[in-house]
A = this chain, B = another copy of it.
Amino acid sequence: MSGPEWLTEEQQRAWRAFKAMETMLNSRLGASLQREAGLSPADYRILVELSESSHGRMRAYELGEATQWEKSRISHQLSRMAQRGLVERQQCSKDTRYSDVVLTETGRAAIEAAAPLHVANVREAFVDALTSQQLQAFGEACEAILARIKSLPT
């Protein structure tokens, strides 16, 4: 599917709007999370995954699957969070290669305090900006892009 070298006006407009929106939304949500809950977006994401898992316990590998982050990013992130007492690292008995990650009480308290605030911010800046049809279409477009990327060679 080759094409001309540049994008059409329309395509460019959509692309630039997307990038600008992404920048502003991330900066807004990230700043609020940091200010009001003392968590970075990365902290929040990990805590969400852990708190939704059965006993607040997951393998680093599973966290990688869920977030689609690189393994080294996961590892660094968990180190920092362990340092602050949000999570705890434990060896899987029998196979020391695998490491289990457990949500601490501190971590659970942090995510439970942060989640309602964050959800309110998402609603305010994202959900409430669109009609229900728009939201539906937007979500489907995101899924289409996601599917497209997954179908492409690395």
Contacts and interface: CB of A to CB of B under 8 A. Distances in A.
Contacts of A152: 28, 124-125
* Main SS at interface, chain A: helix
B28 A135 contact: no
A106 interface: no
Interface of A: 1, 3, 5-7, 10-11, 13-15, 17-18, 20-25, 27-28, 67-69, 116, 119, 122-130, 132, 134-150, 152
8 contacts: A6-B119, A11-B123, A17-B143, A129-B144, A129-B148, A134-B144, A138-B138, A141-B141
Closest 4 CB pairs of A and B: A14-B139, A129-B148, A17-B142, A21-B142
